[in-house]
Structure 1
Amino acid sequence: MGKYCFGIDVGGTSVKCGLFQTDGVLVEKWEIPTRKENSGEAILPDIAKTILDKIAERKLDKEEIDGVGIGVPGPVNERGEVPCAVNLFWGFKEVTKELTELTGLPSKAGNDANVAALGEAWKGAAAGAKNVILVTLGTGVGGGIIVDGKIVGGAHGAGGEIGHAAVDHEEKEACNCGNCGCLEQYASATGIVRVAQRTLAATDEQTVLRKFTKLSAKNVLDAFKEGDKVACDVMAQVGEMLGGTLAMFACVTDPEAIVIGGGVSKAGQPLIDCIQKYYEKYAFTACKKTPIILATLGNDAGIYGSARMVIKEV
């Protein structure tokens, strides 16, 4: 195996880049802007340029580098092809083929949430675990599943799409994906606000939540931590949806740990306790005691997981 590799995490506004030693030590990290104009045609050439510049700057030999791993927001199949990545304005793209041609280095691509799960299982909250479920609670709900140390990508690259599990079959409003009743509609930052607004409309109870002209998930979570009754009711609904869904996924993969990340996870242990309570209520007996823990790598999970994908086993 070589001495180095690159981990790249492509986001909607910036591309996070990391140069790693193959033992997992992060040597340096930096960011470049994500240029989405003209259907995102500059994104991969920009990434290739920053990698080649870094190799030159540090006087590295390409022979010392195992390759480049890249996480992208969208489904990725095993050939490293993306059918479309809406947030990057990409249609069909042969990501690994193009990146390898541009850099002269081997490359591997994965869905960003799956890659983040691999990062947390390698050097994060679940370090050393071979079976892990990661859920990222942000603007949407992302998910990644690791079984036997490998990402579960599936036939269409849609493995681990926990946010689009249908959890409410009575829901009339559509999710961004076009279906109705997806977990993302309740457990994401926007979902929490939605549940709160519905709850407020259905009760006359006094609550601090009524004083906000533009309610945010942080407002709801702060009020929940302060013991506000309506906010606690909102989070009980969210916790039941999320805990119940994780219990179903645990029946399939039986993880050693379930990791919660994303912006909403900043609410910390009270949020975890709320999810754990309902998880234990619905989980299969053998899985009831699976720990639910907070992610520890934060925004670096993607670059760690991407790097891990290309490290050659010793």
Structure 2
Amino acid sequence: MIAYLPSAVDMGTSSYAFGYESGVAVEVDVNGYNYDKGEYADVAAENLKEEIIDSYGTIDSIYDTAITKDENRETSTFDGVILREDYMGNAQAVYYFGLAKEIDKDKRILVRIEIEADRTNKLTNQIIEELEKYYEIDINFNQEEVNKYAEVYNANPPTTRKTSVLGLTFEIPRRYDIDYKTSSIVNNTYVFGPDGDSTTPGQVLMVVASDIGNVKITKEYLKMAIEEMYDTDIVKITEADIEFNGGEIMKISMGTDLIVIDGYVLTKENKLILVATMSILDKVSDEQMAMIHQVIQTLTIE
């Protein structure tokens, strides 16, 4: 099978192909693992749509259409608009279109088309028309409308964004990202800081989580777990000063003469979670504690 692409990257003989030109990116996957033999096209299309919406850098899903399917569930399409963060931290509007199609009993294709509304030029419409003709699809891209979503967002951007780690989803300051140098994925520990840098005291967020199974958690059990985790000479455990609907919660403060760590240990469903921040030589600021409270109050289990 020959895949039509706007400008192909030479990948030799392959079941996968990618091309990009004039703001239009196209991926074509033939008999790929995302579309198993015997699977209905609408199921494969739904999985592809989720992959696009959850792709790296996505800030928000503006809209997505329902999956269309033919009578035999052998052809399915969808489209929508997402906002992605660009390298300057601004929102970029991206229109996407997906196609899942069973050509015959031994050949299935997935086509993923993305159009960056701020990267188009005079060739873009021609490429869209050729894609529509070759794949027999209708791409409903309106540059002015799609760009408007990004303009509205950038005019008044939110101060927080959602992130997901360790099976948890919560809101963090918009500029914060994972610091992979200080995080330890093996130890279920993620550290965040502005632009992924957690080395500045007073601008650090730590999230640690572990599964505890179906153990019934009481405050006494939670206190005991904290004392087993940390040196009792440096950790102070008190009643929490915030509301939490998930389970038990205790406030902790750990410190030496140099480093102060304040936060909370809590339970939600079958997880034991630490959410904390760190300062040096001084008490943790109100702004830092407000960040921690926000994480806890928006925390959900995936």
Larger relative contact order, structure 1 or 2 (CA cutoff 8 Å, min sep 6): 1
**Structure with a larger share of its residues in helix:** 1
TM-score (norm 1): 0.28
**Structure with a larger share of its residues in strand:** 2
TM-score (norm 2): 0.29
